[in-house]
Amino acid sequence: MPVYSYFIAFCVAVLLFILAYIGWWIYIHTSPFHVAVNRIPGPKYLPLIGNALELAGGLDRLQHTLQTKWVEEYGDIYRIFVGTHCYINISSPELMESVLSSQKIIDKGVSYNELIPWLGQGLLLSSGDLWRSRRKLLTPAFHFSILNSFVEVFNEQSRILCGIIGDICQSFADGKSEMDVYPLITRCSLDIICEAAMGTNINAQTETSDYIRAVYRIGQVVTEQFRLPWLRNPTILSLTALGKERDQLLKTLHGFTEEVINNRREVIKKKENNVAQETGTGIKNRLPLLDLLLKASEDGKVLSNQDIRQEIDTFMFEGHDTTTSLLSWFLYAMASNPDVQERVWIELQNEFGDSERDCTQEDIPNLKYLECCIKETLRLYPSVPGFERAVKEDVQIGKYFLPAGCTIGILSFAAHRNPEIFPDPLVFNPERFFPDESVGRHPYAYIPFSAGPRNCIGQRFAMLESKIVLSTLLRRFKFEVSANTKPPIIATQLVLKSLNGINLIVSRR
């Protein structure tokens, strides 16, 4: 081909590119959708990829760009494009209230799609009337009296965790050891939620199994899909090693849940479920959630086997990752604020003295300072730092019109670090949650469990579990940060985590 022909081909390509760009420019300046969303401040974006370049890189950078940099640059409502999809991210109490209290905006955003193969139409992901009927069905499972029956499980698993941490400390001459507490707490939370959701003990703290490995790994696989958008395409995913691994993990996860459901159905059929102690099947009789679902499915009309499995899988996911994040960040906050840790310890001494007895429901109202510390942890390190709602029909939010088709991102992490509402936001100060200090604070300024009709159904469960596990740990151990260890690198991997673990020096009290 002569040089001349290359030149012509090059000119045609450049011309086509310029024409395509002009076409795109005209489109985003005239289409009603773009005209509406472009009234909202936000960074400039490119055709097809939107703001993907600014969002590429490590998860910590992504977290910083979305939750800090752009909030500082554009304020409490800003617009971005990821690929061709538009996100409107909000962080002021007023805007979050108008979205979260709405009965019209209750469907989840597109980023949740990667969870569908695992959780199906469970409570977290379902929408419309299906969600309404399930929410009604499941609410009684979190009644105060039912939560009471889990106090024993919380204590039992906390004691096992203390035994494991104690053994690690003891193996060092000075009885002190630096350890990443995150994986230890993950296993404890898994044991707790497994007992609560399925009534079965998987001994995650002391043994290992394919199921435990699968629950642990699936979160990482889904995060990879969030990070690398082409893996969201089912065909591309199925061709990759990650896709094949995901299918295997799903087989393990669904297979285990189905087996537990079938076993429990048998137990109920034989009317053995009113035996208080362990049965021969290894299933105990504190099983409100699965029992409730099985009861609702007795005539096969309300819930199929698959429906039950999806609800149980949802509770397994929502109930262990979130609490692990809270418990771990709490210990980090204690270690980096020794005065606060000492004050919690004094409160625990006043309540329990030197006894090793269990923490009971009667102790809970007396652990007020501990509760403020848990709340402050969820402010500074919200387990769920952001969540989404799909805009299915046009809505007005504040002074902006949001057209159907975009997604609203609720940035609770950014909201909780707003200096106008929480002065010195980076300082860990539990007194912010003393009753006098909270007076006049906007009810949507602090939303670790979300708010409105789709708030967290497990909120009371999580608070009770945290108080029992944390009081048991702090009565027995002291937590410190090592001067030689790098501080945690904050990032979102489904929940708020530290990319380099939560490494603390632990010693016996």
Residues that bind ligand HEM (CB under 6 A): 108, 123-124, 135, 314-315, 318-319, 322-323, 326, 383-384, 387, 448-450, 454, 456-458, 461-462
Hey, CA dihedral for 380, 383, 386, 389, is it positive or negative?
A: negative
Nearest to ligand HEM of 123, 188 (CB atom): 123
CB of 323 to ligand HEM, least distance (A): 5
CB of 454 to ligand HEM, least distance (A): 4
CB of 509 to ligand HEM, least distance (A): 25
CB of 456 to ligand HEM, least distance (A): 3
Nearest to ligand HEM of 324, 337 (CB atom): 324
Nearest to ligand HEM of 76, 318 (CB atom): 318
CB of 10 to ligand HEM, least distance (A): 49
Nearest to ligand HEM of 430, 458 (CB atom): 458
Nearest to ligand HEM of 90, 384 (CB atom): 384
CB of 136 to ligand HEM, least distance (A): 10
CA dist., res. 459 & res. 446, Å (int)? 14
10 Å Cβ neighbour count for 421?
17
Does residue 432 contact residue 378 with C-beta atoms inside 8 Å?
A: no
CB of 83 to ligand HEM, least distance (A): 21
Name, in order, each residue with C-beta under 8 angstroms of 147's C-beta and a sequence gap of 6 or more: 460, 461, 464
23-38 burial string, b = 16+ CB within 10 Å, else e? eeeeebeeeeebebbe
CA dist., res. 82 & res. 80, Å (int)? 7
Residue where the block lists tokens 């979050």: 96
Does residue 71 contact residue 95 with C-beta atoms inside 8 Å?
A: no
Nearest to ligand HEM of 42, 448 (CB atom): 448
CA dist., res. 222 & res. 214, Å (int)? 12
Q: Which tokens in the block code for residue 224?
A: 């990879």
Integer CA distances (angstroms), 131 to 13, 115, 134, 236, 455, in order: 50, 16, 5, 31, 12
CB of 210 to ligand HEM, least distance (A): 23
DSSP 8-state code for residue 393: S
Pick the closest to residue 187 from 170, 177, 202, 171 (CA basis): 202
Nearest to ligand HEM of 324, 503 (CB atom): 324
Name, in order, each residue with C-beta under 8 angstroms of 377's C-beta and a sequence gap of 6 or more: 326, 329, 330, 333, 428
List, in sequence order, every residue forming a beta bridge with 46; answer none if it has no partner: 50
Q: Is 294 exposed, middle or buried (0-12, 13-18, 19+ CB in 10 A)?
A: buried
CA dist., res. 148 & res. 360, Å (int)? 9
Does residue 448 contact residue 378 with C-beta atoms inside 8 Å?
A: yes
**Annotated binding-site residue numbers for heme:** 456
Nearest to ligand HEM of 119, 283 (CB atom): 119
CB of 247 to ligand HEM, least distance (A): 25
3-state helix/strand/coil string of 337-359? CHHHHHHHHHHHHHHHCCCCCCC
Nearest to ligand HEM of 109, 488 (CB atom): 109
**CB closest to ligand HEM, residue no:** 458
233-258 burial string, b = 16+ CB within 10 Å, else e? eeeebeeeebbebbeebbebbbebbe
Does residue 363 contact residue 80 with C-beta atoms inside 8 Å?
A: no
CA dist., res. 311 & res. 118, Å (int)? 11
Nearest to ligand HEM of 323, 341 (CB atom): 323
CB of 119 to ligand HEM, least distance (A): 9
